[in-house]
Amino acid sequence: MNTDWSVIANFMPQLLSGARMTIYITLVGLCGGMVVGTIAGLMRTYGNWLLNCTAMIYIEVIRGTPIVVQVMFLYFALPVLASIRIDPLTAAMIAIVVNAGAYIAEIVRGSLQSISRGLAEAGLALGLPRWKVLVYIVGPLAFRRLIPPLGNQFIISLKDTSLFIVIGVSELTRTGQEIMAANFRAVEIWSAIAVMYLIMTGTLTLLLRLIERRMKIL
Amino acid sequence: MSIIEFKCVSKHFGALKVLDEVDLDIDQGEVVVLIGPSGSGKSTLLRCINGLETITGGDLRVDRISVLAGNAMLREIRQEAGMVFQQFNLFPQLTALDNVAFGPRHVRGQSTREARAQALALLKKVGLEERAHHYPNELSGGQQQRVAIARALAVKPKVMLFDEPTSALDPELKQEVLNVMRDLAEEGMTMVVVTHEMSFAKQVGSRLIFMENGKISVDGNPREILANSANNPRLQDFLRHVH
């Protein structure tokens, strides 16, 4: 077996642009996922039965189906069903928003429910309206407990972007496959790609550690 | 004038009847001590007063406002009736000072500075001004409970409700909390206290209520009731267990 690590340097510009695309999809997807997840989590925790049920169906449908099927549905089935045609990149970002949103909703619900009921009662007993109890007491405490499981989900979503190879989004994994198809340098290219994913997830982990350290869990 | 009026109040948890058509008037300035075996409904009765439990029958008025008059009115009642919990329930992310200033800031809309100045005065009253900048987990149980009393007082309630305030405390820490409560009673605060501290009932209480099976079975002067407990076998049996 002869390996030639110098080929990596030749393909670096392509690999970097793939990594940029991966980061872009992840960032947009997770920002949206946080919004969707927070709303769905609040609906599950505090909503009336209708809101609760709606959120629950969303979460169960998404958690019960593979993300590859979800993105295939968005990209191939939606044009047929509703004549909505979206480009692969948009489909990829929506898939992360919808998918991460479902998991984040459960993380949000879990954190909110882990805060002792007595604290909410203490707030109510002072004469606070429910929303202020949530904003000033339960929310800030739940937020600290959110960070570790949220970090987990961020890493999973980042790696999930590699599955969008199926709709041809030119993220990092897809870029690797294209390079491979031209030069068959499997060991070098896939090693380089693995390291690049590790750098991205490592940075994410480090950032979350820093935030976690600044906020004691109470 | 009655500040708290129970009119035929019932409370069900599903099929379980926890309060059974309770009638009770509490006047301004009274220190009512509620005792009874566990499950007799004494905590539930207390929690109905500020609407932490919703009554399922009858009517309950605090300072002439019904607990059934809607959320806005319920918040009025809660500002009139401060509550102290068995588990203290201090906000762990806030210092003692900010715990006490919390109510005035977010309920009464006071400025942070104003609320903190008042909070410091209240901490002084409960003997904890030098602990003002400590977080709850840096305080002993007795200190936490005194902060919790100050926090409830900060909203300037007319009535104070105590739900087993010393039950979670070591014996040597109970007294500091009971002393604060006694001072409060001597200032003329109307108080409803669920407790097992019979010495407190005897020395500070102006009225003793013994509850059984969701009903008030004995109601009167604490010293007289305790002196004549031999006439009531169930009360006597209960008292033997709390001593």
Return the closest-CA partner of residue B233 out of B209, B213, B217: B217
Domain B2-92+157-242 coded CATH 3.40.50.1820: no
CB contact under 8 A, B92 and A128: no
pLDDT(A159) > 70: yes
The tens digit of pLDDT for each residue in B170-188 reads: 988 999 999 999 999 999 9
The tens digit of pLDDT for each residue in B37-64 reads: 988 999 999 999 999 999 999 999 999 9
End-to-end CA distance of chain A: 55
ipTM: 0.93
- Global pTM? 0.86
Residue numbers of A between 112 and 151 with CB closer than 8 Å to B? 116, 118-119, 121-129, 132, 136-137, 140-141
Q: Cβ of B85 under 8 Å from any chain A Cβ?
A: yes
Give the pLDDT of residue B16: 92
Give the pLDDT of residue A1: 64
Q: Which residues are CB-neighbours of B53 under 8 A, at least 6 positions away? A: B11, B44, B47
- A13-214 fold: MetI-like fold (1.10.3720)
The tens digit of pLDDT for each residue in B18-32 reads: 999 999 999 999 999
pLDDT(A199) > 70: yes
How do the domains of chain A map onto residue ranges? 13-214
pLDDT(A214) > 80: yes
Q: Cβ of B109 under 8 Å from any chain A Cβ?
A: no
* Mutation target vs B (from A116, A121, A126, A218; most B CBs, 10 A cutoff): A126
How does the average pLDDT of chain B come out, rounded?
Answer: 94
Q: Contact A112/A120 with Cβ under 8 angstroms?
A: no
Give the pLDDT of residue A217: 64
The tens digit of pLDDT for each residue in A81-123 reads: 988 889 999 999 999 999 999 999 999 999 999 999 999 999 9
The tens digit of pLDDT for each residue in B74-132 reads: 999 999 999 999 999 999 999 999 999 999 999 988 999 999 999 999 999 999 999 99
CB contact under 8 A, B52 and A126: no
Q: Contact A37/A105 with Cβ under 8 angstroms?
A: yes
Of residues A119, A126, A140, nearest to B103 (C-beta): A126
* Mutation target vs A (from B86, B102, B158; most A CBs, 10 A cutoff): B102
Return the closest-CA partner of residue B197 out of B219, B156, B168, B217: B168
Q: What is the CB neighbour count within 10 angstroms for residue A213?
A: 8
Mean pLDDT in residue range A16-32: 96
Nearest-neighbour CA in chain B from A102: distance (Å) = 29
Mean pLDDT in residue range B124-153: 96
- Give SS3 for B192: strand
